[in-house]
């Protein structure tokens, strides 16, 4: 594998998508081949799963079904797009969410068995671990303020769910300090960009 895989995580409305776009432009300007994908979805089949997952009409979906659908979408994305892209020279894949979302949302948030979640994560991704993962940390109150009126199914989940999810992310940060970078997402966007670039430059030689 020649390429670099970087994932972006955080509870909803934490501003990660803006930062992904900025990093994509920066890397392209420096001669890298960049692929950006979002989860759930990112492939034709995965987008169909995304529609099912985010549809408010899916409100009675069992947490195990939810988890397996996210995992199914992820497996397709890894095999169809991510792994082939990483074989290229000077390639970088930026993922807007990856398996840490399942550990945090389905494991911690929905209280599914964590060992099982981690096992399925490994299976779905064929063991593909990101080189770097940015966690956009935002207190619940701030996240709620930022959210638009129209809530999708997950965004209409309760505050306790969000708090557990956030704690789930913080636990991953504590367990994997080399991979995980916690960012204070309440900072001005330019400061966050600077912190991301600083970290990425430690990983990728940019000339
Ligand atoms: P999306 O609208 O893409 O939100 P965001 O812009 O915050 O990424 O919706 C994705 C939602 O799915 C989000 O609420 C997080 C949730 N999710 C999980 O619960 N588990 C997962 O494994 C993934 C990838 C996402």
Cβ of 97 closer than 6 Å to ligand 1, yes or no, is: yes
Single out the residue of 154, 163, 140, 196 nearest to residue 63, CA to CA: 154
**32 CA distance to ligand 1 middle (Å):** 27
Distance of CA 58 from the midpoint of ligand 1 (Å): 14
Q: Residues 145-174, buried b or exposed e (16+ Cβ, 10 A)? A: eeeeeeeeebbebeeebbebbbebbbebbe
What domains are defined for the chain? 4-203 (3.40.50.300)
H or E stretch at 120: helix 114-125
Q: For residue 42, count other CB atoms closer than 10 A to its CB.
A: 24
Q: Each residue of 145-178: pLDDT tens digit?
A: 777 644 555 566 788 999 999 999 999 999 999 9
DSSP states of 135-172: EEE--HHHHHHHS-SS--TTTTS-HHHHHHHHHHHHHH
pTM of the model: 0.94
Residue ranges in the chain modelled with pLDDT below 50: 149-150
pLDDT at position 205: 81
For a pLDDT cut of 90, what percent of the chain falls above it?
Answer: 84
| Cα 26 to middle of ligand 1, angstroms | 25
Centre a 10 Å sphere on the Cβ of residue 112 and count the other Cβ atoms it contains: 19
In ligand 1, the atom with minimum distance to the C-alpha of 40 is 24
| Beta pairing partners, 34 | 92
Nearest in space to 16 (alpha carbons), one of 69, 83, 91, 94 = 94
Q: Look at residue 150 in the predicted model and tell me its pLDDT.
A: 44
Distance 98 CA to ligand 1 centre (A): 9
pLDDT at residue 154 in the model? 52
Please, what sign has the CA dihedral across residues 135, 139, 143, 144?
A: positive
Cα(24)–Cα(138) distance, integer angstroms: 23
Q: Whose CA is nearest to atom 11 of ligand 1?
A: 154
Judge if the beta carbon of residue 9 lies within 6 A of ligand 1.
no
Cβ neighbour number for residue 123 with a 10 Å cutoff: 11
For residue 97, the ligand 1 atom closest to its alpha carbon is 24
Q: What is the pLDDT of residue 104?
A: 98
**CA 14 to ligand 1: nearest atom:** 7
Question: Ligand 1: which of 38, 40, 59, 64 to mutate, judged by most atoms within 8 Å of the beta carbon?
Answer: 40
């Amino acid at each position: 594998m020649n390429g670099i895989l970087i994932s972006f995580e955080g509870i909803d409305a934490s501003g990660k998508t803006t930062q992904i776009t900025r990093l994509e432009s920066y890397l392209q300007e420096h001669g890298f081949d960049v692929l950006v994908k979002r989860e759930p979805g990112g492939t034709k089949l995965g987008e169909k799963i995304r529609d099912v997952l985010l549809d408010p009409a899916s409100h009675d979906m069992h947490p195990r079904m939810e988890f397996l659908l996210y995992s199914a979408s992820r497996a397709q994305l890894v095999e169809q797009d991510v792994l082939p892209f990483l074989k290229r020279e000077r390639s970088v894949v930026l993922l807007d969410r990856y398996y840490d979302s399942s550990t945090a949302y389905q494991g911690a948030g929905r209280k599914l068995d964590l060992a099982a979640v981690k096992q399925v994560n490994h299976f779905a991704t064929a063991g593909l671990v990101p080189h770097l993962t940015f966690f956009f940390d935002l207190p619940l109150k701030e996240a709620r303020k930022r959210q638009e009126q129209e809530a999708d199914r997950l965004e209409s989940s309760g505050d306790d769910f969000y708090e557990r999810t956030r704690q789930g992310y913080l636990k991953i940060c504590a367990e994997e300090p080399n991979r995980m970078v916690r960012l204070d997402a309440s900072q001005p966007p330019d400061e966050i960009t600077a912190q991301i670039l600083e970290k990425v430059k430690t990983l990728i030689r940019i000339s």
